[in-house]
Amino acid sequence: MTTRPILAILLNAILPTCVMAADLAVAGSSTIYPVIAEAATVYDGAKLVVTQGGSGDGIKKAADGTVAVGMASRDLKEAEKALGLGVQRIGNDGIALVVNGQNAAAGLTKAQAAGIFAGSQTTWKDIGGDGDITLVSLHEKHGTTDGFAHFLGLEVSSDPATKAVVFTPKGGKPSGVTAQRSETVADCLGLVAKNPRAITFAPIGSTLRLMSQGAPLKFLSLEGITPSLAVVKEQRWPFTRPLNLVYKAPASPAVQSFLDFMTSADGQALVQKYDYVPLE
């Protein structure tokens, strides 16, 4: 007669632990974060506990088992490839150069863009605009900044005194020119919208959304190509980056189920909703 109550007590003690164990911790890229945060509200598998921290942080935590899934808006670096991680791409993103709508400049070459951010080109005069160039950048630890610097052949750091962002040619010395530091893409674009001489780099989709809302922004072409989601999808845009989920391989059944959801029609709809380019 006492077996059933005892069994119920044991089950009640065990079940909460099982539920907690079934939660999937996800951390990393602030670029991917909004997509996965919304996925957590509709995914009917394990409960997703989603936090930010940057691509590098997401990769590190997935590798050491702190989280089940890391979010990375870049490919793995060579040292990271040896950490036993699996990678699932869930979409793509294109990063473009953005200026104020009043800026008369139309486009840049990759070399010109590198010169602007490294500080060897400090005025718009020779490239179609007017006045001194004001640089605006996401903070130096942001995955977008790291990828942008790598794309241009630059290194990125911050000024110890002012915390401004510093771009330097690899193996070279700082020019003394710094970029105004911002914490979010929205902040970067907001500063450019207010300053006719400013330039920043930002996701194409996010910029297009603000433009559609009336923000006085415009893209600069790069190597003769005009930014658009279509050229990213066609893999013709020079600076395209992957949106990756990383995990300790082989994936557990719970992780694999979540990866399958993010590559399904429902998951890809979320990627598209946040102005990124879904998988084919």
Report the alpha-carbon distance of residue 28 to residue 17 in Å, rounded.
Answer: 25
How far apart CA 144 and CA 21 sit, in angstroms, is 33
Global pTM reads 0.83
d(CA 270, CA 60): 25
**Rounded Cα–Cα distance for residues 221 and 96 (Å):** 8
DSSP state of 73: S
Is the pLDDT at 156 greater than 50? The verdict is yes
In tens, the pLDDT along 106-141 reads 999 999 999 999 999 999 998 998 999 999 999 998
pLDDT for position 6:
53
Residue 30 corresponds to which tokens in the numbers above? 């602030």
- Rounded Cα–Cα distance for residues 61 and 71 (Å): 10
Between 264 and 141, residue with greater pLDDT: 264
Task: Dump pLDDT digits (tens) for 35-93.
Answer: 999 999 999 999 999 999 889 999 999 999 999 999 999 999 999 999 999 999 999 99
**Going by C-beta distance under 8 Å and a sequence separation of 6 or more, which residues neighbour residue 133?**
116, 121, 122, 123, 124, 197, 198, 199
Pairwise CA distance, residues 168 & 187, whole Å: 23
**Is residue 5 reached through a cis peptide bond, with omega within 30 degrees of 0 on the bond before it?**
no
Structural domains in the chain, sorted by start:
3-92+243-273 (3.40.190.10), 93-233 (3.40.190.10)
